[in-house]
Structure 1
């Protein structure tokens, strides 16, 4: 993948993320399917590289099975989802919240 393509898909990813409604979540794969030549792992790596304090709703990107990913920001992610009105069932987001 050329560096130009790399920048383009990340820009598209961040645009999709910015447009995500506050009461909805999306999976890594769901975002990847909207981007040519991108897979869920690439999306996950791009999400992990977002700068701290970003205004993008990174916390609304979860695994396709509804479970929250296990990472250093898990507690913050959980708190932000609850603040957005997304109710959790244990460590899982119910399907009704998926985009």
Structure 2
């Protein structure tokens, strides 16, 4: 089960909107926000693929400027690889849709 720490940046005037959006995502636990629009959160998902999808979903919100990954732990996935399961692809190494 991958767990990551992220800093989500928004305009200060939009922080409350972003916080409301994040509250709708069960994989996201907000730990704080500051007056500059920075939001500290922990994401917990079942797989690296799901982690990438939730980060992408947050990034696409109109009020989010950036999602910065500060910490990632994926020990559970490493254990599954040792047991012979197919590994997940690392973040950012996917081919865009429609390419070969």
TMscore range, shorter length: 0.3 to 0.5
Report the TM-score, using the length of structure 1 for normalisation. Answer: 0.35
- If you compute each CA radius of gyration, which structure gives the higher value, 1 or 2? 2
TM-score (norm 2): 0.35
Larger fraction in helix? 1
Looking at both structures, which has the greater relative contact order when contacts are Cα pairs under 8 Å and sequence separation is at least 6? 2
Answer 1 or 2: which has greater strand percent.
2
